[in-house]
Amino acid sequence: MRKVVTREAIANGSLALLLLAVPFAAIAMDEPFYVTLATRIAILALAAVGLNIALGLGGLVSFGHAAFFGLGGYAAGILATHAFNAEPLLLGIPATTSMPVIWLVALVVCGLVALPIGAVSLRTSGVYFIMITLAFAQMIYYFAISWPAYGGQDGLSIYVRNSFPGVNTALPLPLFLICYGLLLLGLVLFWTLRNSRFGAALQAARQNPTRLAAVGIAPFNIRLTAFTVSAMITGLAGALFADLNRFTSPSMLSWHMSGELIVLIILGGRGRLFGPVAGAMLFVLFEFALGGITERWQLFLGLILLGVVLFARGGLMGFIAGRERHG
Amino acid sequence: MAEPVLEIRDLKKSFGALKATDGVSLHLASGEIHALIGPNGAGKSTLIHQISGSLTPDSGKIRFLGQDIAGLDMAARARLGLARSFQTSSLAQEFSALRNVMLAVQARQGTSLRFFRPVMRDRSLTEPAMAMLERVGLAGRAHVPAAELSHGERRQLEIATALALGPKAFLLDEPMAGMGPEGAKNLTGFLDTLRQEAPILLVEHDMDAVFALADRVSVLVYGRIIATGDVDEIRNDPEVRRAYLGEPA
């Protein structure tokens, strides 16, 4: 085997520590706003880690992952609203404000929705796959807008942030640590999947589906599993995002959000373990720094994205950690 | 005679007005190398695609190990033991040679829906894969990405992945293509020993290799088999000489 500590491992460790350090420094400097910013980075990174399984490892350019991000958000919002109003859900099931239960609901709902969407979408490929995932996500978006029970166009406020046993989630730092912890778990899961038999088949399906079929592995099942797991992780991030903002809105479901997640991955490095983290840091930094100067900050982001696509295909991780090698 | 490993009966496939496969029947018996020759555009690769499952024939039967495989896709046929190599190498380009072979080993061991154990630390994958690379003489290049291998090395790697499937029959589509004379000679020697493991349906342009290896030869011209026989019969068949070997009758 090669060197144990690679350049990529150093880069990954540095990014992880940097993100962890920001909120502590912010608290020390009495600037709690930066804690929120770091939390936003962690959550968007987690959402992109999910998409990175489908897009990065499997080459499945889903332009509909906002559907899962939003569904996770609505899971948090709806459960919190019912619990706040002390109204049971359907069939008298009591609602809850417990984050772990909400996360579980978000994971299950997103898995159950992703399975049929994936099963239909994965019959196509290329541009058709992009369009069909977009179409499904927009269907869910318009459904949310036209459903007045949960806010419709106005969205849904979470009056009291959901709770986590033994933690005061109303404070910014504990909430950051919860999100950061889940991001690390998501990264461990991505890493484990990538190195497993499943990951080998999934990456082969991206590189050459004919090769995969020629050894006797049907690409469809592998891709469907990847798409579903990918959606579940993005959904979990959506639940956290709703709790961070104490607000769920249809915009979480819109195609802008899907595009944003793809941009994060391309900026950071497609298929790279820390690509989504690097991408989310860069994105939120631009959003904050350029957004303070001009309302047209997305124009500059677009130019940078153009630069990355044209000159640095590996994204930020490709730039700092070099090309990826597979065993 | 025992039932053939692979049997094709009256296979037809047209692309518009072009009859690429026009009533082809042939079989592959155990222990033999059956060479399929013919001029460019005769429909050799089209035939291989239909047998392996990447093209659907218009009509006709394909039986493999006594089973009708018409309704099976490529992956299912591979799982039954039909291993193929491609005319132009078809590998996972970013993966190393070792990981390409490991993919075949993994497929042979059953489901790939295993999510936890890292493949590079799984000796039940790495060791058989390494052994296959050694057999084809590629062990020294095990950790080189397929994209960085030479053309000849990629052909060897294709053979190694086919071997790793432990197949019941090989479909080899021009394995010598683009190899130097030395490489072709080595591969000829290697394929000669391979027929003990599983019979080979060999599409090949290299006539030295075909005449050295084949137990039987079928000649395909314009989608039809115009002659089948042993090497001497084919060499002396006047119709074959006229249609393919390019000699006046």
DSSP-assigned states of every residue in A131-194: HHHHHHHHHHHHHHHT-GGGTGGG-EE-SS--BBTTB-TTSHHHHHHHHHHHHHHHHHHHHHHH
Distance from CA of B8 to the nearest CA of A (A): 20
Coil vs helix vs strand at B87: coil
Residues B76 and B56 in one domain: yes
In chain A, count H helices and then E strands: 13, 2
The ranges assigned to domains in chain A are 7-321
Instruction: Check CB contact under 8 Å for B90 and A203.
Output: no
Of A196, A217, A326, the CB nearest to B75: A217
ipTM for the assembly:
0.90
| Chain A residues with beta carbon closer than 8 angstroms to that of B171 | none
| Chain B residues with beta carbon closer than 8 angstroms to that of A210 | 54, 74, 86, 90
Distance from CA of A62 to the nearest CA of B (A): 21
Instruction: Check CB contact under 8 Å for A327 and B117.
Output: no
Residues B35 and B71 in one domain: yes
Of A22-26, A146-150, B219-223, where does the model show the most confidence? A22-26
Q: How many CB atoms lie within 10 A of CB B111?
A: 12
| Residue B135 belongs to a domain | yes
Average pLDDT (A127-152) is 95
How many domains does one find in chain B? 2
Instruction: Check CB contact under 8 Å for B114 and A204.
Output: no
| Residue B159 belongs to a domain | no
pLDDT band with cut points at 50, 70 and 90 for residue A125: very high
Kindly report, residue by residue over B13-52, the tens digit of the pLDDT.
999 989 999 999 999 999 999 999 988 888 999 999 999 9
Q: Which amino acid, A198? A: F
Which of A:189-218 have CB within 8 Å of B?
Answer: 192-193, 195-201, 203-204, 207-208, 210-218
Quote the CA–CA distance of A71 and A108 in Å, as a whole number. 11
Mean pLDDT of chain A: 93
| Residue B204 belongs to a domain | yes
| Residue B144 belongs to a domain | yes
Distance from CA of B246 to the nearest CA of A (A): 35
Residues B16 and B70 in one domain: yes
| Chain B residues with beta carbon closer than 8 angstroms to that of A188 | none
| Chain A residues with beta carbon closer than 8 angstroms to that of B84 | 214
Of B93, B94, B112, the CB nearest to A198: B112
| Chain A residues with beta carbon closer than 8 angstroms to that of B78 | 213-216
Residues B3 and B83 in one domain: yes
Give pLDDT, residue B246: 63
In eight-state DSSP terms, residue B167 is -
Residue B177 above 90 pLDDT? no
Residues B174 and B227 in one domain: yes
Residue A239 above 50 pLDDT? yes
Give pLDDT, residue B245: 61
Torsion of Cα atoms, A85 then A86 then A91 then A94, to 10°: 120
Residues B76 and B59 in one domain: yes
| Chain A residues with beta carbon closer than 8 angstroms to that of B165 | 215-216
Give pLDDT, residue A312: 82
Among B118, B150, B182, the domain-final residue is B150
Mean pLDDT of chain B: 91
Distance from CA of A84 to the nearest CA of B (A): 39
Give pLDDT, residue A19: 97
Instruction: Check CB contact under 8 Å for B74 and A214.
Output: yes
Residue B112 phi/psi, 5-degree rounding, is -95, 5
| Residue B139 belongs to a domain | yes
Give pLDDT, residue B1: 53
* Region of poorest pLDDT, from A235-249, B3-17, B51-65, B169-183: B169-183
| Residue B161 belongs to a domain | no
- Better-predicted residue by pLDDT, B42 or A234: A234
Domain around B173: 1-89+166-249
Instruction: Check CB contact under 8 Å for A193 and B115.
Output: yes
Distance of CA B177 to the CA centre of its chain: 13
Here the CATH number for the domain that contains residue B222 is 3.40.50.300
Residues B193 and B217 in one domain: yes
Percent of chain A clearing pLDDT 70 (strictly above):
98
Q: How far is CA A126 from CA A207, A266, A315, B5, in A?
A: 14, 17, 22, 38
For residue B249, what are its two tokens?
Answer: 């009758």
Residue B2 above 80 pLDDT? no
Give pLDDT, residue A323: 82
Residues B118 and B135 in one domain: yes
Residue B141 above 90 pLDDT? yes
Distance from CA of B16 to the nearest CA of A (A): 25
Give pLDDT, residue B249: 44
Of A201, A208, A221, the CB nearest to B91: A208
Quote the CA–CA distance of A47 and A41 in Å, as a whole number. 10
Give pLDDT, residue A55: 97
| Chain B residues with beta carbon closer than 8 angstroms to that of A201 | 103, 106, 112
Percent of chain B clearing pLDDT 90 (strictly above):
72
| Residue B155 belongs to a domain | no
Give pLDDT, residue A1: 45
